[in-house]
Structure 1
Amino acid sequence: MVYQADSKRYETMTYNRVGRSGLKLPAISLGLWHNFGGINSYENGRAMLRRAFDLGITHFDLANNYGPPYGSAEETFGKVMKDDFRPYRDEMIISTKAGYDMWPGPYGEWGSKKYLVASLDQSLKRMGLEYVDIFYHHRPDPDTPLEETMSALDLIVRQGKALYVGISNYRPEETRAAAKILRELGTPCLIHQPNYSMMNRWIEEGLQDVLEEEGIGSIVFSPLEGGVLTDRYLNGIAADSRAGGPSRFLRPEDINEERILKVKRLNEMAAGRGQKLSQMALAWVLRGGKVTSALIGASKVGQIEDAVETLNNMTFTADELQKIDEILGY
Structure 2
Amino acid sequence: MKVNDSFGPRPYKANDTRYDSMQYRRCGNSGILMPLISLGLWHNFGHTNDLETGRGLLRCAFDNGITHFDLANNYGPPYGAAEENFGRLFKEDFKPYRDELLISSKAGWDMWPGPYGNYGSRKYLVASCNQSLERMGLEYVDIFYHHRPDPDTPLEETMGALHHLVQSGKALYAGISQYPAALTAKAAKIMKDLGTPLLIHQPRYNMLDRWVEDGLLQELENQGMGSIAFSPLEQGILTNKYLNGIPKDSRAKKDGRYLKEEQITPSLLEQVAQLNAIANNRGQSLAQMAIAWLLKDERISTVLVGVSREEQLLDNIESLKNLSFSESELNDIKKVLG
Shorter-normalised TM-score: what interval? over 0.9
| Other-structure match for 2:83 | 74
For residues 167 and 8 of structure 1, what CA distance do their matches in structure 2 show? 33
1:142 alignment partner, one of 151, 155, 158: 151
User: 2:117 matched to 1:108?
Assistant: yes
- Equivalent positions of 1:230-249 (< 5 A) are 230-249=239-258
| Other-structure match for 1:65 | 74
- Give how far 1:243 is off: 1.3
Letter in 2 for 1:174: L
For residues 47 and 238 of structure 1, what CA distance do their matches in structure 2 show? 25
How many correspondences in the alignment?
A: 329
1:167 alignment partner, one of 176, 185, 194: 176
For residues 76 and 295 of structure 2, what CA distance do their matches in structure 1 show? 27
- Higher deviation after alignment, 229-238 or 129-138: 229-238
User: 2:28 matched to 1:35?
Assistant: no
- Equivalent positions of 1:1-330 (< 5 A) are 1-329=10-338
- Secondary structure of the residue aligned to 2:16 is coil
- Give how far 1:328 is off: 1.4
For 1:215-256, what per-residue CA distance to the aligned partner results, in whole angstroms no more than 9, with x for missing partners?
A: 000001011111100001112222322212124011111211
- Give how far 1:319 is off: 0.6
- Give how far 1:265 is off: 1.1
Letter in 2 for 1:173: A
| Other-structure match for 2:3 | none
- Secondary structure of the residue aligned to 2:253 is coil
For 1:115-158, what per-residue CA distance to the aligned partner results, in whole angstroms no more than 9, with x for missing partners?
A: 00000111011101000000000001010000000000000011
* Aligned-residue identity in percent: 60
- Give how far 1:188 is off: 0.4
- Secondary structure of the residue aligned to 2:143 is strand
For residues 10 and 247 of structure 1, what CA distance do their matches in structure 2 show? 38
- Secondary structure of the residue aligned to 1:192 is strand
For 1:253-277, what per-residue CA distance to the aligned partner results, in whole angstroms no more than 9, with x for missing partners?
A: 1211111111011111111111100
- Secondary structure of the residue aligned to 1:243 is helix
For residues 89 and 151 of structure 1, what CA distance do their matches in structure 2 show? 27
For residues 256 and 111 of structure 2, what CA distance do their matches in structure 1 show? 17
Letter in 2 for 1:219: I
For residues 128 and 240 of structure 1, what CA distance do their matches in structure 2 show? 35
For residues 122 and 241 of structure 1, what CA distance do their matches in structure 2 show? 33
- Give how far 1:289 is off: 1.1
Letter in 1 for 2:122: K
For residues 311 and 282 of structure 2, what CA distance do their matches in structure 1 show? 20
Letter in 2 for 1:275: Q
For 1:58-80, what per-residue CA distance to the aligned partner results, in whole angstroms no more than 9, with x for missing partners?
A: 00000000011111011111111
Which residues of structure 1 form unaligned runs of 5+?
none
- Secondary structure of the residue aligned to 1:291 is coil
Is the contact made by 2:45 and 2:54 (CA closer than 8 Å) also made in structure 1? yes
For residues 218 and 288 of structure 1, what CA distance do their matches in structure 2 show? 11
For residues 242 and 145 of structure 1, what CA distance do their matches in structure 2 show? 37
Seen in structure 2, the aligned counterparts of structure 1 residues 82 and 247 have a Cα distance that, compared at 3 Å, is farther
For residues 80 and 195 of structure 1, what CA distance do their matches in structure 2 show? 27
Is the contact made by 2:125 and 2:161 (CA closer than 8 Å) also made in structure 1? yes
For residues 291 and 160 of structure 1, what CA distance do their matches in structure 2 show? 27
- Give how far 1:300 is off: 0.5
For residues 295 and 288 of structure 1, what CA distance do their matches in structure 2 show? 15
For residues 245 and 53 of structure 2, what CA distance do their matches in structure 1 show? 26
For residues 104 and 190 of structure 1, what CA distance do their matches in structure 2 show? 31
For residues 212 and 90 of structure 1, what CA distance do their matches in structure 2 show? 28
- Secondary structure of the residue aligned to 2:22 is coil
Is the contact made by 2:28 and 2:299 (CA closer than 8 Å) also made in structure 1? no
For residues 241 and 323 of structure 1, what CA distance do their matches in structure 2 show? 28
Letter in 1 for 2:309: K
- Give how far 1:288 is off: 2.9
- Secondary structure of the residue aligned to 1:140 is coil
For residues 11 and 238 of structure 1, what CA distance do their matches in structure 2 show? 37
